[in-house]
Structure 1
Amino acid sequence: AAVVLVPAMNYLHKALVASNLNFQVKVSTPQSLDVIPRPFPPSTATFNSTWNSTIYQLLQFLKNTNSYYMLNAYPYYGYTTGNGIFPIDYALFRPLPSVKQIVDPNTLSHYNSMFDAMVDATYYAIDAFNISGIPIIVTETGWPWLGGANEPDATVENAETFNNNLIRHVLNDSGPPSQPTIPINTYIYELFNEDKRPGPVSEKSWGIFFTNGTAVYTLSLSSSNRITGNSSVTYCVVKQNVDSGKLQEGLNWACGQGGANCTAIQQGQPCYIPDTYQNHASYAYNDYYQKMRSAGGTCDFDGTATTTTVDPSYGSCIFTGR
């Protein structure tokens, strides 16, 4: 099948050109991260040499047609098959303490999420063919919410945390360390559970919705909350990739001496999940900022916070803004 892949893509492209649709419709094909045997460290990643001929033809096609490399990237599998090498916080986009920072020893780039490292590994593998300028789209990523006895990390809490943190992560329109100016367009796998799918329990349990249409957990598609008509409404939120120790200090101050109302981020309350310093500190910082800005209160918190016109509210967790 591999030998006919690129010729088939060429036929499709020629049909689009003949219909004058080649600028509106691009031709590509999703690739599993498995075609890169050793994705870490990203800077040394290369494609499986068995597929070199096909991959090279594919990359040349994508380059020549201004198309995209489609990547299926699953930190869930990277974590569960990693034999404890990487902490689960790294897979779930949670902040890592400074002593556990993940660093590429060759480039000294810091990776705050396994997701970014997977994308960067693919960029470096493409670069190994001396080809550049092909943006990557993540066509599948997600986290299962249920697993069997040997799948303890497939939980509703982890799935909700991963997907909500993923959305927040990609909404900043930045890329991985090697390509910071290229946003990572991403598709979540998947909308509905496939309850008849064979294999482990987790294979049936990637959906955001049950087959009857009810939600498995709350997902915040925050882009729908972007402020378009009233840019004067501002919020105070945590900056990306801030040290968790500084966030904890800022959170403690805001909820204590700062006088912020932090009830909503307590366990069982609407803003508790995702249970991360990033999420909790954003809520506390914003509550303090909205109450105290008229009296000179700022959105700084030792350099860990910034103002935004993007409403960070999600589900029943509401951030006040003015």
Structure 2
Amino acid sequence: MKPEKWQGRVFLLLTFMFYDVSGAFIGINIGTDLTSLPSAVDVVAILKAHQVSHVRLYDADRRMLNALAGTGIEVMVGVTNEEVLGIGESPSVAAAWVNKNVVAYVPQTNITAIAVGSEVLSSIPNASPILVPAMNYLHNALVASNLSSQVKVSSPQSMDIIPRPFPPSTATFNSTWNSTMYQILQFLKNTKSFYMLNAYPYYGYTKGNGIFPIDYALFRPLSRTKQIVDPNTLFLYTSMFDSMVDATYYSMDALNFSGIPILVTESGWPWLGGGNEPDATLENAQTYNNNLIRRVLNNSGPPSQPTIPISTYIYEMFNEDKRPGPTSEKNWGTFFTNGTSLYPLSLGSSSQLTGNSSGVGAFCVAKQEADTDALQAGLNWACGQGQSNCTAIQAGKPCYDPDTLQNHASYAYNDYFHKMKSVGGTCDFGGTATITNVDPSYGSCIFAGSSDSNKSVVTAPAAFGPMPTIDVGGSTSILQVSEFVYLILAIILALV
């Protein structure tokens, strides 16, 4: 996890997919500081439903590693900050950690990286003397297991260790860490690994006291009078994200290191904040993450390293409501725990996940955070005055289960939307509804607008109802047959 001084996390209701495109990829971080963490099987089902190709775990949870087996998803496992000390003091402890948390799972689980700690230099500086030894011991254990070419070792660092990141060309690491940073970079160079960077324009903007415009932080175009240019190189910076990455490249160069690619292990924007956090909004979070994905998938680097892509892990999968600190600290999630997402996200500069003009592929569903009374009123109106066909959500009918207000309202809202769209009907229902293009159909419950209107195939398991879970008593759930479902889905998608 990021150190507590970092304030936010992003809860966007997203329907985006994560690809590996031409060398650049978008991944996602999975934090666990939440009250109701879904089972590992459920988490992996959500990842697969949204075609996530890369994940970062902050530890090496055996349930997640087992659930990820056979998926092909590339996994970065984490050595916790608490574990760094023991590993850095003992090669045998490091070897035992690798045997238990890596060797035991590959090749079934596609582990490709170990993140040693999280922002160790800025969060637990007293551990800095043993950070590089820990990295070396872990790498040596991988060599002994013949895994060093497959599994790379690095350590995520925050932008805090670069005190003056602008202009990028004059950026340097805090001199306090020069010796440690030199050793880290030498290790990365020797092992052909990458520099892990946590880059948060949200903090760069909110702590900048108005120095930079918010459009610069959100990847939005700047007017000709507000262009951000490095006065030394005359490089034009169109986003703070690129500036942060370049500041890190220049800081490495100041220690005479080049050729070490940067992997952004965390980046995002909080969707909700307290009264003193006005920039943590749903609109800003949606804008940032849309544009971040677009930026990463164009497969280019920052101005000083244009040919080195900036693969990035979005922070984060779920809201972590147990984290201390301000409101924003708890609100960086991109998925609700039942698998629904906050809003559509574009996957590239020409690809936008929105409904088309015919309405096929666009669905009107109840908002996860909608007030219960308002939702009930919306459902009553849809099934009454709105003349939605609500037969399917009656007891014993295909869409009755799961028997929840959220599920029933989504079905009724969507039926109204598709009947009335052509004559001006909207998807609002007192602010309790939203448009998505993730098909909420499941089993034999088919929502209007689904391309599967003549089929009974699960297109996105429980996408807009509570995610089925495996009962501790052994009751059956949809996710227990998810492997079969996804195999069928893969075949269908290949034929489309």
**TM > 0.5:** yes
The letter for the 2-side match of 1:60 is Q
* 1:170 has 2:296 as partner: yes
Q: Match of 2:172?
A: 46
What is the CA distance between 1:94 and its match in structure 2? 0.4
SS at match of 2:152: coil
* 1:189 has 2:189 as partner: no
Aligned-pair Cα RMSD in Å: 1.9
What is the CA distance between 1:270 and its match in structure 2? 7.1
Q: Match of 1:108?
A: 234
Q: Match of 2:205?
A: 79
The counterpart of 2:188, out of the listed 53, 59, 62, is 62
SS at match of 2:196: strand
% identity of equivalent residues:
79
Unaligned runs of 5+ in 1: 227-267, 272-322
Instruction: Sort the Cα spacing of 1:24 and 1:137 in 2 relative to 1 into closer, same or farther, 3 A.
Output: same
The letter for the 2-side match of 1:64 is N
Q: Match of 1:253?
A: none
Mapped to 1, the partners of 2:233 and 2:156 lie a distance apart of: 28
Cα distance per residue 1:267-295 (max 9 Å; x no partner): x9979xxxxxxxxxxxxxxxxxxxxxxxx
Contact 1:207 1:216 in 2 (8 A): no
* 1:131 has 2:131 as partner: no
Matches within 5 A, 1:155-166: 155-166=281-292
The counterpart of 2:223, out of the listed 86, 93, 97, is 97
* 1:9 has 2:135 as partner: yes
Mapped to 2, the partners of 1:83 and 1:181 lie a distance apart of: 33
Matches within 5 A, 1:189-228: 189-222=315-348
Matches within 5 A, 1:32-43: 32-43=158-169
Mapped to 2, the partners of 1:5 and 1:43 lie a distance apart of: 27
Mapped to 1, the partners of 2:321 and 2:128 lie a distance apart of: 31
Q: Match of 1:316?
A: none
Mapped to 1, the partners of 2:188 and 2:194 lie a distance apart of: 6
What is the CA distance between 1:212 and its match in structure 2? 4.1
The counterpart of 2:277, out of the listed 145, 151, 154, is 151
Contact 2:195 2:260 in 1 (8 A): yes
Higher Rg:
2
Mapped to 1, the partners of 2:322 and 2:308 lie a distance apart of: 38
The letter for the 2-side match of 1:99 is T
Contact 1:156 1:217 in 2 (8 A): no
Mapped to 2, the partners of 1:218 and 1:191 lie a distance apart of: 15
Mapped to 1, the partners of 2:273 and 2:148 lie a distance apart of: 42
Cα distance per residue 1:102-145 (max 9 Å; x no partner): 00011000000000000000000000001111000000000000
The letter for the 2-side match of 1:14 is N
* 1:117 has 2:243 as partner: yes
What is the CA distance between 1:19 and its match in structure 2? 1.3
What is the CA distance between 1:192 and its match in structure 2? 0.4
Contact 1:2 1:54 in 2 (8 A): yes
Mapped to 1, the partners of 2:174 and 2:316 lie a distance apart of: 27
Contact 2:269 2:284 in 1 (8 A): yes
Mapped to 1, the partners of 2:259 and 2:251 lie a distance apart of: 13
Contact 1:154 1:202 in 2 (8 A): yes
Unaligned runs of 5+ in 2: 1-126, 353-427, 429-433, 437-496
Mapped to 1, the partners of 2:323 and 2:291 lie a distance apart of: 27
The letter for the 2-side match of 1:197 is R
Cα distance per residue 1:23-62 (max 9 Å; x no partner): 1110000000100000000000000111111111000000
Q: Match of 1:30?
A: 156
Contact 2:298 2:348 in 1 (8 A): no
User: How many residue pairs were aligned?
Assistant: 229
The letter for the 1-side match of 2:289 is N
Contact 1:208 1:215 in 2 (8 A): yes
